[in-house]
Chain A
């Protein structure tokens, strides 16, 4: 999968940097924990911009191209920031057979953005995800980890309204 690389300027805080440095200090003697460090970095920053990858490469003493190689290989690592509310639609087989493609299309049209994109106000992003193992509830989508099961395209506007109207 081609990943979208963000052109948004990096806005890291010193607190975030201190958190990342602490994780690196704990893991730097075991190079096999590179993915663990990257996962933690993504928890801290929300995505893995170039500046963060450089910090990881220097801290773990591995080449930057290795960090970049790992970050582009695995679907979980994001090179673009996600929206405040990340809508993730399961396209696993059980969900697909039960019409999750229609649900995804409805979410895209409701939010006016495509899969893999983030809305201009930074509020919503949409991704199609792999099976989350809730096949008994198919079709399923999640909003920031909150699971909505057995949904129909017509349920979509009501569910999204909750987040659209939420206080910032």
Chain B
């Protein structure tokens, strides 16, 4: 990435402060406040920036009910995708009596394209340790588990070190801050199963089983991990807790919109100039993220859609660029905040192909426990493959839509219930693109290989023969200095010739 991209200024201009740059100007860092600022492997640096003060305040000045009230009043909602009010979740577990309760941190960041949880665990692991201890105090739990993806080895290493250091300082273990409160933390590694991001599947996995979800009720607040009352929150949710407890609910609920308080981290990626983690107040519009923070679409291409929430989410077309990014506004247009993956696509992306990509993912990741998800997603994928192969009919589109609703309504867990979302939302906003594939047998973006033809423009071709020499299947022939032609029956549409041609004579249509 060049300096221009990072700073929004050229190297020749004067150097401007980080918070005045286009990328950072509109950001407000709460969950990520320490990432990149402190040494994550040094507990003293965390303590120097008010670390563990929120825990001290909770244990020595507040009752568990006070802590829950502060979290409830802050308006914090689950950042893992569900958006359930965190304070209410804690109060459910607190209300249940049991000999043992648990706190679980969901760090199984499975949404492809989202990496804020990795960033927090790698850049500020103590904040998760502190937040989980606060949650343990508020809900009456003395044991906690962090379930981390095995794909994040640095996060695991730093988290384990943070737990060791906190223990050595007496900030975990028995009688923390001289009170009766005891809290221990364990790390468990995932093994590459997307469904384990679902809360009941995650608990089943911690117990050492195949990570299959369980029907609810009973809810985890009643019978969760090892059949005991359990509070489970996502990494980013926990990352907000110490600041909320320390500064009071007003610190948090004055940021954001009426129903979505605070900030949200989005992982900006795809066809956008500035990629990276972006923490913005809830309610910032997508246009501000794409044009101001993201610096627009590179290579002079046009914005086509943004995909939020990964395989569970939906797409946002250009017409909705001014939608505020918050839980309710996004749901209204058929998308979702989800865990915060935000992939930008330009006009070279085919929406049917993207829907097919996500569905392939869910077909692979469906755990197989319930039929609507296991069989339904596979049938749905077959319909999409038929469409992108140019064999789809208009009836297929109706079947596709009906099947989507059937899977949504009948699946056991969040994976199946949200799996059809990428299809439904792209069909809703880009219906004409689906119809072009079915009726006209054309892929407008030129992505679906069976629907495009690569042709040589005879007016531009100089007959240099370079393409015919590079073609891996020998599909191009002609006489030197006369226009060459592509034998469509041999062409495998690999596009090597397009990259090879110096005269821009070959194109995909």
User: How far does the Cβ of A111 sit from chain B's closest Cβ, in whole Å?
Assistant: 16
Q: Interface range on chain B: under 10, 10 to 19, 20 to 34, or 35 or more?
A: 35 or more
Contact A75 B112 (CB under 8 A): no
Contact with B along A132-163 (1 / 0, CB 8 A): 11111010000000000000000000000000
CB of B345 within 8 Å of the partner chain: yes
Highest count of chain A CB atoms <10 Å: which of B115, B307, B310: B115
The smallest beta-carbon distance between A107 and chain B, in angstroms, is 14
- Given the complex, which residues of A lie within 8 Å of B208, measured CB to CB? 31-35, 70
Which residue of the partner chain A has the closest CB to B310? Answer: A93
Contact between B192 and A130, CB atoms less than 8 A apart: yes
Which of B21-29, B35-43, B78-86, B267-275 contacts its partner? B267-275
Segment among A17-25, A94-102, A113-121 that sits at the interface with chain B: A94-102
Q: Is the CB of B271 within 8 A of A97?
A: yes
Q: Dominant SS at the A interface?
A: helix
* Known A98-B271, A132-B151: A76·B110 in contact at CB below 8 Å: no
A134 to B118, CA, bound (A): 10
Given contacts A94-B113, A94-B269, contact A133 B151 (CB under 8 A): yes
Across the interface, do A97 and B343 meet the contact criterion of CB distance under 8 Å?
A: yes
Tell which of B151, B349, B364 touches A97, judged by Cβ atoms closer than 8 Å.
Answer: B349
A9 within 8 A of B: no
Number of A residues with CB within 8 Å of any CB on chain B: 33
Residue from the list A35, A94, A136 in contact with B189, Cβ < 8 A: A35
Check A76 against B150 for contact (C-beta < 8 Å): yes
- How far is A1 from B194 in the complex, measured between Cα atoms in Å? 12
| Docked pose: A136 CA to B113 CA in angstroms | 9
- Closest B residue to A74 by beta carbon equals B191
Residue of A nearest to B422 (CB): A93
- Residue-by-residue, is B132-152 near A (CB-CB < 8 Å gives 1, otherwise 0)? 000000000000000000111
Interface residues of A (CB under 8 A from B): 1, 31-36, 38-39, 66, 69-70, 73-77, 91-94, 96-98, 129-136, 138
Seed contacts A97-B349, A133-B109, A133-B152; 17 additional CB < 8 Å A-B pairs: A35-B191, A35-B205, A39-B191, A73-B193, A73-B211, A74-B211, A75-B192, A75-B193, A91-B112, A93-B357, A93-B358, A94-B112, A96-B112, A97-B269, A131-B113, A132-B151, A135-B269
